[in-house]
């Protein structure tokens, strides 16, 4: 179920189903959907109440009969029916009508590098339920590399790190294919959880779910680097009394809590480099690592990698949308045939 370039050029739309956000690229129209992968459902009637941004705002704030669900986990569709309903609402009637007019509608989608056959099948069935007659699958690492402009078709090593919500994928690419890759089950959600657990254990404070991401930025001017303010005021709920409470949090301690899960990412990078041929590693000393994905924007993450690896580390211009932009470039025929014949194999 892997695609070649000619097949991708026949596709009419592309989908990047991520654990955090869902993005849809329509051929000729560009990026038409970029919304959180969340849906709110009335458990009494089964009715879909909201999707995307509005559903995410409802998280943790709904009555008992309204439940917010995430049909995608770690790049894998875990609830096919809900993923289809979410996609239909995100696309809107106008775009769906446009796609229905296409004869033999074709779709493309990203899949994680180590996705098993069941995960791939779930992605295919989700898009078939949207009306696609054929679905082409492309490795997320390849799509992201193309989307951020890496010269993956050359006989030179390029290293890409896709920092997702549920996992981080690292790979070395050369001649349009993956030489070696590693998937680390640590992503933005692990960083969020580390902050929440630190505040709960050290300050007996429960943090509202919507406050975690803003807190990452508030910790510093420089995130993981020790040059921000010494303390930050945090509002939350007292674990024992249930009352609202404010505490002054030591930012250095929170930075250490964040660093703990990120050490697994460093171990994954080291394994990829150890498994890589020496000639390609020599190329990487100059080219370095390209970071894409939403978690790449965690302040100071790039500097931490730079210090740990001694290699240049770059963040893509728009790291959060690189994968779907790469799919879009393939759909629009902007990629030379040399790139994609061996890409997803």
Residues 190 and 114 in one domain: no
Averaged pLDDT for residues 294-315 = 89
Q: Are strands 289-292 and 158-163 parallel, antiparallel or unpaired?
A: parallel
| Domains: count for the chain | 2
Q: What is the mean pLDDT of the chain?
A: 87
Same domain, 192 and 308: yes
Mark whether 27 and 109 lie in a shared domain.
yes
Higher pLDDT, 101 or 217: 101
- Give pLDDT, residue 300: 81
> Is residue 34 a part of any domain in this protein?
yes
The verdict on 242 and 326 lying in the same domain is no
Selection from 65-74, 253-262, 298-307 with the highest mean pLDDT: 65-74
Tens digit of pLDDT for each residue in 22-60? Answer: 999 999 899 999 999 999 999 999 999 999 999 999 988
Q: Does 209 reside within a domain?
A: yes
User: What's the CA gap between 241 and 243, in Å, rounded?
Assistant: 5
pLDDT bracket for residue 298 (50, 70, 90)? confident
Q: Residue 44: its pLDDT value, please? A: 94
Q: Both 281 and 328 in a single domain?
A: no
Whether 222 has a pLDDT exceeding 50, the answer reads no
Write out the two tokens for 329. 């470039």
d(CA 268, CA 168): 9
Q: What is the largest CA-CA distance in the chain?
A: 63
Residue 31 lies in a domain: yes
Report whether pLDDT(309) > 60.
Answer: yes
149 assigned to some structural domain: no
- Residue with the bigger pLDDT between 287 and 231: it is 287
pLDDT given at position 336:
65
Between CA 133 and CA 103 the distance in angstroms is: 9
Q: How confident is the model at residue 221 (pLDDT cuts 50, 70, 90)?
A: very low
More confident residue, 154 or 143: 143
Give the closest residue to 6 by CA, choosing from 124, 136, 178. 136
188 and 74 part of one domain: no
Domain membership of residue 226 (yes or no) is: yes
Q: Is 336 part of a structural domain of the chain?
A: yes
Domain presence at residue 27: yes
pLDDT digits (tens, 9 = 90+) for 252-274: 888 888 888 889 999 999 999 99
What's the CATH number where 330 sits? Answer: 3.30.420.40
- Give the mean pLDDT of 312-335: 92
158 & 116 share domain: no
pLDDT score, position 343: 40
- Which residue segment(s) compose the domain that 177 sits in? 154-316
Same structural domain, 170 and 196:
yes
CB 311 within 8 A of CB 288: yes
Whether 101 and 201 map to the same domain: the answer is: no
- Specify whether 169 is located in the same domain as 225: yes
Count the residues in the chain: 345
Same-domain check for residues 223 and 261: yes
Buried b (16+ CB within 10 A) or exposed e, 326-340: bbbbbbeeebeeebb
Same domain for 175 and 222, yes or no, is: yes
Answer whether 0.85 is exceeded by the pTM.
Answer: yes
Q: Model confidence over 88-131: pLDDT tens digits?
A: 999 999 999 999 899 899 999 999 988 899 999 999 999 999 99
245 inside domain: yes
Looking at the predicted structure, is the pLDDT value of residue 303 above 70?
yes
Residue 338 phi/psi, 5-degree rounding, is: -60, -30
In the numeric block, the tokens 């990078």 are attached to: 269
Q: How far is CA 193 from CA 73, 74, 106, 208, 267, in A?
A: 16, 15, 38, 12, 20
pLDDT, residue 175, reads 86
Per-residue three-class SS string for the chain: CECCHHHHHCCCEEEEECCCEEEEEECCCEEEEEEECCEEEECCCCCEEEEHHHHHHHCCCCCCCEEEECCEECCEECCHHHHHHHHHHHHHHHHHHHHHCCCCCEEEEEECCCCCHHHHHHHHHHHHCCCCCEEEEEEHHHHHHHHCCCCCCCCCCEEEEEECCCCEEEEEEECCEEEEEEEECCCHHHHHHHHHHHHHHHHCEECCHHHHHHHHHHCCCCCCCCCCCCEEEEEEEECCCCCEEEEEEEHHHHHHHHHHHHHHHHHHHHHHHHHCCHHHHHHHHHHCEEEECHHHHCCCHHHHHHHHHCCCEEECCCHHHHHHHHHHHHHCCCCCHHHHCCCCC
Confidence of residue 73 (pLDDT cuts 50, 70, 90): confident
């Amino acid at each position: 179920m892997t695609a070649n370039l000619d097949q991708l050029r026949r596709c009419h739309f592309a989908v990047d189903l991520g654990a955090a956000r869902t993005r849809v690229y329509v051929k000729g129209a560009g990026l038409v959907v970029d919304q959180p992968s969340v849906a709110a459902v009335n458990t009494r009637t089964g009715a879909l109440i909201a999707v995307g941004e509005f559903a995410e705002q409802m998280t943790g704030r709904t009555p008992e009969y309204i439940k917010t669900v995430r049909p995608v986990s770690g790049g894998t569709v875990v609830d096919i029916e809900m993923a289809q309903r979410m996609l239909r609402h995100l696309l809107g009637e106008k775009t769906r009508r446009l796609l229905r007019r296409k004869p033999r509608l074709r779709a493309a989608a990203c899949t994680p590098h180590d996705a098993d056959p069941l995960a791939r099948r779930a992605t295919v069935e989700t898009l078939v339920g949207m009306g696609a007659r054929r679905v082409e699958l492309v490795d997320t690492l390849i799509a992201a590399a193309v989307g951020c402009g890496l010269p993956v078709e050359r006989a030179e090593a390029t290293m890409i790190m896709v920092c997702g919500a549920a996992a981080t994928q690292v790979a070395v690419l050369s001649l349009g294919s993956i030489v070696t890759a590693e998937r680390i089950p640590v992503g933005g959600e692990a960083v969020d959880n580390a902050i929440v657990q630190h505040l709960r254990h050290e300050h007996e404070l429960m943090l509202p779910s919507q406050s975690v991401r803003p807190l990452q930025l508030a910790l510093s001017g420089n995130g993981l680097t020790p040059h921000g303010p010494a303390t930050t005021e945090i509002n939350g709920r007292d674990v024992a009394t249930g009352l609202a409470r404010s505490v002054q949090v030591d930012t250095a301690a929170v930075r250490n809590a964040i660093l703990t899960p990120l050490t697994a990412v460093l171990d994954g990078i080291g394994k990829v480099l150890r498994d890589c041929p020496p000639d390609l590693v020599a190329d990487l000393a100059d080219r370095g690592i390209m970071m894409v994905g939403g978690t790449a924007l965690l302040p100071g993450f790039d500097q931490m990698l730079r210090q740990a690896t001694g290699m240049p580390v770059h963040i893509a211009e728009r790291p959060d949308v690189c994968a779907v932009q790469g799919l879009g470039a393939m759909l629009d025929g902007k990629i030379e045939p040399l790139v994609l014949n061996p890409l997803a194999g």
